[in-house]
Amino acid sequence: MGRIRRVLAGRVGIGLLVCGLVAAAVGAVWFQPWKLWVNETVREAAPVAREQGARTLATGEFIGHEHATSGTVRILELPDGSRTLRLENLDTSNGPDLRVLITDAPVRQGRAGWFVFDDGAHTELGRLKGNKGDQNYPLPAGLDLDAYRSVSIWCDRFDVSFGAAALTRAL
């Protein structure tokens, strides 16, 4: 017992302590656990008022996957012909490296839906601006909306969907 104590108190012990501290620091940077308790609320106004001629092309309701997620998504065509994906009343968990994807994948309930959104065709619209509130994401000019069926709040770090919404075309 005395010999083990001497080894742990000596260079080996200090080396193990330093390695443990480095591993803890790397883990903290990678997982960013503080984001579980920090909310980022965004309140972006709609790109144009409805009475100014914005047309709704598609809508959807979020369901939760890895984390509870709720809110709505609308794809708007603006009077100038540009299109915007709008998240309204979004409420999800914060996390590292969250992105907004528009995808061709179907929305599935439960664990079966966690990992499908980066498998097929998808377009990343940008980093999620906040885990709560209303926000706008411009759609690329040449994007063929008929090729896409859903929107996902995607954690790129861990390749998992926080939540997703199936898109329904407006009539």
Is 164 within the bounds of a domain? yes
Q: Are residues 46 and 25 in the same domain?
A: no
Dist. CA 50–CA 48, nearest whole Å: 6
What's the maximum distance between 2 C-alpha atoms anywhere in the chain?
82
Do 18 and 74 share a domain, yes or no? no
Is 112 domain-assigned?
yes
Name the residue among 69, 63, 131 with its Cα closest to residue 97.
Answer: 131
167/75 Cα distance (integer angstroms): 9
Residue 26 shares a structural domain with residue 81: no
24-38, 98-112, 127-141: which has the highest mean pLDDT? 127-141
Which one, of 78, 81, 125, 75, lies nearest residue 99 by Cα?
Answer: 125
Q: Could you tell me if 103 and 49 lie in one domain?
A: yes
> Does 50 fall in a domain?
yes
Asked if residue 56 and residue 134 are part of one domain, the reply reads yes
Q: Are 45 and 27 in a shared domain?
A: no
Domain membership flag for residue 36: no
Domain co-membership, 60 together with 20: no
What does pTM read for this prediction?
A: 0.79
Span 76-128, pLDDT tens digits:
999 999 999 999 999 999 988 999 999 999 999 888 777 888 788 999 999 99
User: Which of the two residues, 60 and 26, has the higher pLDDT score?
Assistant: 60
60, 166 in Cβ contact below 8 A?
Answer: yes
Q: Are residues 45 and 70 in the same domain?
A: yes
Domain coverage including residue 155: 41-169
Domain count, the chain: 2
Q: What is the pLDDT of residue 18?
A: 62
Residue 22 lies in a domain: yes
Q: What is the CATH number of the domain that holds 102?
A: 2.60.40.200
